[in-house]
Chains A and B, each alone.
Chain A
């Protein structure tokens, strides 16, 4: 799409009429686009906005059918009440560590692999690529129990002998939370796509200049895919942040529980503390929203312009 909306068309057009019609068309386009964006984005965000609105509702208001759109009696204590019901500070810290580790590990190791698959020629490359794609296809529930078993029988941890028996291995430790999902084949695949689009000529040129392979990877090519890096970091962070089932399975002690587990505790068998659930979920979503708002600024055309010309 055209970059600036306020740039007159390049050098002064000899044909004034043509330029005017261009501007006119642009303005029409712009208005139509804005209208579409407003309506469509609202449709996308409406459920979340409704949830956020509900997070300050009084429980009796939730009982009203139909529920009024704007909360009539804003109850900001919902947030503090939700926080006090479970040790959310600890949960948030844990989620932060888990999500941060996922982001860092993925950006580091998945990018390395993605780059190698995209740009370096080595014999096992097709095999590794095929393997990565196959990995993505493996259903999570098929591997949950075996991975759990491996975590439990990790030799020499948690009281296990060298054969992995006798103790509890990595259960209820940070290892179990972080390691199994540390490098995601999806991210490798994604990185490869980003790297494929980078110009190989740059690599050749760098080699001629005597830059090492590692140097090319770290200093020359990877900076070109900054949007890609940010994408992977964001997605890995989000996956770690919203992870629910795996932490539930491998941890028992409260000090390792994560935020989603804490929020799920608002749903009891008999009744749901709806207002607290909404408050909790909204709060949990806020860090992700802020992160996204901050980083999407870098998804601006030309930020990662190729360095050919």
Chain B
């Protein structure tokens, strides 16, 4: 950003009748505000309009075609949408996403908040603890998935089965049994998601006035009470943000699941983005994949609105 900036009009009361001494200044402040609002928002807006807006329009147009990438698209009307309507696997995948989100996100958020709150005070080893919690987020997904494959190995040598074995519980087929696979995947998503949420909560906690805590403590409030009565309400905007972005993120990522289970066994861990990926890149049905993406977008819009209702949004939304 440039160092020199235009100076707003000086608050001079010029000659001539004025209904209110500060109007001209207020008006010029308003104009400056409007101008700068547009100016500051422009780069990001234009960039996203170009690199996200145009592609989504292209994708939207493609959703009405049959396009196998190699040959030019052919118009197909609403056929793709009709196909999706009757595609059991697609809707099953949506259900899986909802389950993963519904179970995983609240647990993940709660743990993240707990970590953030505990690691906000100067504990010995604070930095190390924070890094440890954040490690799952910065480790490449491929490595994460492979390690969890080892942990979840269905024979007695998988780490979890070794632990269970000491309690006399037989080897559990975490990922090879279609009844357990989804739950196993949810655990991994919780584990991986805590770090980022904790980071955002930490940053948000910096804005909470510490004097509130001190006063409460003097009044005899214990840890839990301070947490529930002060921390949680003050963090509502951050909570809303994390909820919405986690929901969206949940529907967007599939790398982890892909490597862990490839959507199986027997499609019990299939998620929507994996279906879209399969349709687009393995089956070369780009038109159908575009239609699926449009449907996914609609689902996310609904979910975002729902979150607003639940958490109450933030000011000005």
Contacts and interface: CB of A to CB of B under 8 A. Distances in A.
Interface string B229-241: 0010000011001
A1 B143 contact: no
A182 B47 contact: yes
Chain A's interface: helix, strand, loop or mixed, by majority?
helix
Interface residues of B, number: 119
Interface in B275-299: 276-277, 280-281, 286, 289-290, 293-294, 296-297
- Top 4 A-B pairs ranked by shortest CB distance? A122-B37, A142-B293, A146-B55, A113-B44
Contacts of A42: 132
Interface stretch (A70-78, A79-87, A159-167, A291-299): A291-299
Interface stretch (B6-14, B82-90, B176-184): B6-14
B300 A137 contact: yes
Interface string B102-125: 000000000100010111111110
Contacts of A120: 33-34, 36-37, 40
A123 B52 CA distance: 22
A131 to B, nearest CB: 7
B206 A288 contact: no
A302 B210 contact: yes
B118 A194 contact: no
Contacts of A110: 44
B48 A213 contact: no
Interface stretch (B167-175, B192-200, B261-269): B192-200
A181 B50 CA distance: 11
Nearest to B253: A140
Contacts of B147: 47, 50-51
Contacts of A131: 45, 48-49, 53
Nearest to B300: A137
Residue with the greatest number of chain B CB neighbours at <10 A, chosen from A65, A138, A242, A263:
A138
Contacts of B131: 45, 289, 292-293, 296
A117 interface: yes
Given A122-B34, A180-B51, A190-B200, A113 B140 contact: no
A40 B129 CA distance: 9
A214 interface: yes
A201 to B, nearest CB: 15
A213 B33 contact: yes
A276 interface: no
A301 B206 CA distance: 5
A238 B11 CA distance: 46
Given A140-B252, A278-B143, A301-B210, A113 B41 contact: yes
Contacts of A5: 121-122
A150 B55 contact: yes
Interface string A262-283: 0110010000000001100100
Contacts of B294: 142
Contact of B52 (A118, A135, A285, A303): A135
Interface in A27-54: 29, 33-34, 36-37, 40-45, 47-48, 50-51
A289 B135 contact: yes
A3 interface: yes
A120 B52 CA distance: 24
Given A122-B33, A299-B202, A45 B135 contact: yes
A64 to B, nearest CB: 10
B136 interface: yes
A250 to B, nearest CB: 13
Interface string A63-107: 001100000000000000000000000000000000000000000
B207 to A, nearest CB: 5
Interface of B: 1-2, 5-8, 10-11, 29-30, 32-41, 43-45, 47-49, 51-56, 58-59, 62, 69, 111, 115, 117-124, 127-144, 146-148, 151, 157, 162, 191, 194-196, 199-200, 202-207, 209-210, 213-214, 217-218, 222-223, 226, 231, 237-238, 241, 244-245, 248, 251-252, 273, 276-277, 280-281, 286, 289-290, 293-294, 296-297, 300-301, 304, 314-317
B102 to A, nearest CB: 18
27 contacts: A25-B222, A37-B129, A112-B40, A113-B45, A123-B34, A124-B41, A128-B41, A129-B317, A131-B48, A135-B53, A139-B252, A139-B276, A139-B296, A141-B281, A141-B293, A142-B59, A143-B55, A145-B286, A146-B58, A180-B51, A185-B44, A196-B237, A230-B203, A277-B146, A299-B202, A299-B206, A302-B210
Given A37-B129, A131-B53, 12 more contacts: A1-B226, A3-B213, A22-B217, A37-B118, A37-B123, A40-B111, A48-B135, A189-B245, A281-B143, A292-B130, A296-B202, A304-B207
Contacts of A210: 7-8, 10-11
Given A139-B252, A231-B203, A281-B143, A108 B1 contact: yes
Interface of A: 1-5, 9-10, 22, 25, 29, 33-34, 36-37, 40-45, 47-48, 50-51, 65-66, 108-110, 112-113, 115-118, 120-125, 128-129, 131-143, 145-147, 149-150, 179-183, 185-186, 188-190, 193-194, 196-197, 207, 210, 212-215, 217-218, 227-228, 230-231, 234-235, 238, 242, 244, 260, 263-264, 267, 277-278, 281, 284-285, 288-289, 292-293, 296-297, 299-304, 306
Contacts of A180: 51
